[in-house]
Structure 1
Amino acid sequence: MHGNGNDFVLFDEFNGELIPEKKKPEFVKAVCDRRFGVGADGALFVQSSDIADARFRYFNSDGSEAEMCGNGIRCFSRYLVEEGYAKPGSIKVETPVGVLELWVEKAEGYMVKVNMGEVKTSAEEIPAVGVNQIWGEKFEVSGREFEIYAVNSGVPHVVIFVGEEELENLDIVSIARKIRYSKIFPEGTNVNFVSLLTENEIEIRTYERGVEEETLSCGTGSVAAAFVSIQRGLVREPVRVVTKGGDLIVEFSDKIAYMTGSASRVFDGRLRLSELRFESFG
């Protein structure tokens, strides 16, 4: 499945565990390998929940589990509806950041609106160390200073504004890795490079922590970029966020972020464990 090109392999554990908990990180790394596995930015696990329609688990391609994935939860929600675990319309999903409400609409494909919760800006909530807040602070990379804004939109994100032409040509990976691995961010951070297009439209490129490369789209990154752009008075909402994989719409109500985008289910299949570069479950 994919949300604007941010792609995932989904495993249905709603009726019971398929992959032992201790083996999940190693298993996900093998499955997400684009040469020796299926290939994906991450893996989704559908599990049962006592407090929602289902429980959401997301692992990055490096095997690390993340609290949230905006594009992933849209795909997850489409699957719930298609498989009969939830009905179209309003559904609730248990995540590590709380129970989130989503709205699934089937019209020319699947469109999903996600309640992404409140964007956090304090250093403690990002988390970041040695500061109270990172809002317009200078960060030097290879002799160049960047003005960075750090927030938590489900996971940590840094937002950097650049010109439209520069955004297209910038080597974001080398710059982002310096920030991602900075001691300021003890848990690491995703890094977004943003340019302003119109009064309610921005373009974004995102380096994702856990994937450790640029991805075609990032839902939480789009929310972070829209939030910072609005707070700085650079755009008005709703904000159309243009990514390499497609567009997302981000808007806010009573400090809560709402993200709307597509969710695609490309194929279903079976995995041959004997052919996967992965040790047995024994």
Structure 2
Amino acid sequence: MYDFTKYEALGNDYVVIDPGHTAFEPTPELVRQVCDRHFGLGADGVLYGPLPAADGYRLRTFNADGTECEKSGNGLRIFAQYLRDAGYTDADAFVLHTSAGPAPVRILDPAAGTVGVDLGPATLDSLAVGATGPRRTMLREPLTAADAAWTATCVHLGNPHCVIEPGAAAVDEALARRLGPAVRDHELFPHRINLELLDVVDHDRIRIEVFERGAGYTLASGSSACAAAVAAHALGLTGPRVTVEMPGGTVAVGIDGDGRVSLTGEVRAVLQGHWAPRLSRRLAGPRPVEGAA
């Protein structure tokens, strides 16, 4: 049994920490230490589980900054593959439970790491997105950020997303890093939001750059890919099935007639190991003081 297993999905990397295998207290400080790329293992987040559930399996997802995330598309696919790799299940389909609700997953090719997940219905409702102001559909929303005017489409898919098609500006890492913090911390989004820059290649293919609210600039994001696909479809720019290109690679996103969104792509285990003794003691959290009530 290993203390941790690190996976990546198109360069979007997570450390899976199994409470059945190692003592770990998922506090913000310790999550940040594990995810730190200089002083820790390095990752975009931590997947903690499996935890008790009435059916299926439950996990908690943490961003690199220590905040807890409601749902991660790539995280769900990675965790499904981990459960298969670790021998928890030999089923091809089962349910993962998150703080945002249940997510059915499908192991399509366990050897190749091809995993699909149903992320549920998407909505452009400002109340769900967590935006200030009157309740509305956030389609072509005017937004001023980083000293420029933009048009945004906001999507809630278990977590909130702001999708911007920047027009003449290049959809690239530099713009994502510049605009990301300004949108994430905008007064319109008091609970913060993820940013996707959208470039529509054709009717069934889009390209995006991502700045996550809890991890910063990332090479790929499953829920971001889905949110961008939903926005592009709502804007009439694409059909209901698209290939989403990101710097880390591509995924397939589908939107069914009821608005439910599915995500399919590959994941890969890259590292397994044990904590060094000193770090292991720290990650287990503070020990109770003898005699304390």
**Does the alignment pair 1:159 with 2:146?**
no
Q: Which residue of 2 aligns with 1:149?
A: 153
Amino acid of the structure 2 residue aligned with 1:77: A
CA contact (8 A) 1:49 1:94 kept: no
Instruction: Give ranges in structure 2 of 5+ residues lacking alignment.
Output: 1-6, 288-293
Deviations 1:99-157 (A, max 9, x none): 21110122651111100001122111111111323221211234321001111112110
Q: Which residue of 2 aligns with 1:4?
A: 10
Q: Which residue of 2 aligns with 1:172?
A: 176
Q: Distance in 2 between the 1:17 and 1:118 partners?
A: 35
Change (3 A) 1:224 1:256: same
Q: Distance in 1 between the 2:22 and 2:50 partners?
A: 8
CA contact (8 A) 2:196 2:228 kept: yes
Q: Which residue of 1 aligns with 2:127?
A: 124
Amino acid of the structure 2 residue aligned with 1:157: H
**Does the alignment pair 1:30 with 2:36?**
no
Q: Distance in 2 between the 1:114 and 1:240 partners?
A: 15
**TM superposition shift of 1:18:** 2.3
Q: Distance in 2 between the 1:267 and 1:275 partners?
A: 17
SS at match of 2:27: helix
Q: Distance in 2 between the 1:155 and 1:198 partners?
A: 27
Q: Which residue of 2 aligns with 1:39?
A: 42
Alignment of 1:129-144 (within 5 A): 129-133=132-136, 134-144=138-148
CA contact (8 A) 1:204 1:242 kept: yes
Alignment of 1:1-282 (within 5 A): 1-13=7-19, 15=20, 18-20=23-25, 23-106=26-109, 109-133=112-136, 134-163=138-167, 166-168=170-172, 170-211=174-215, 213-253=216-256, 254-272=258-276, 274-275=278-279, 280-282=285-287
CA contact (8 A) 2:173 2:209 kept: no
Aligned pair count reads 278
Deviations 1:46-68 (A, max 9, x none): 12333232112110011100100
SS at match of 1:166: coil
**TM superposition shift of 1:248:** 0.8
CA contact (8 A) 1:250 1:258 kept: yes
Percent sequence identity is: 28
SS at match of 1:37: coil
Q: Distance in 2 between the 1:222 and 1:35 partners?
A: 28
Amino acid of the structure 1 residue aligned with 2:211: Y
Q: Distance in 2 between the 1:155 and 1:142 partners?
A: 23
CA contact (8 A) 2:146 2:182 kept: no
What TM-score do the two structures reach when normalised by structure 1? 0.92
Q: Distance in 2 between the 1:121 and 1:192 partners?
A: 15
Change (3 A) 1:44 1:107: closer
Change (3 A) 1:165 1:138: closer
| Cα RMSD, aligned residues only | 2.0
Deviations 1:27-63 (A, max 9, x none): 1100110001000010011123332321121100111
Deviations 1:199-255 (A, max 9, x none): 1000000000111x2100011111110001111110113110001111011101221
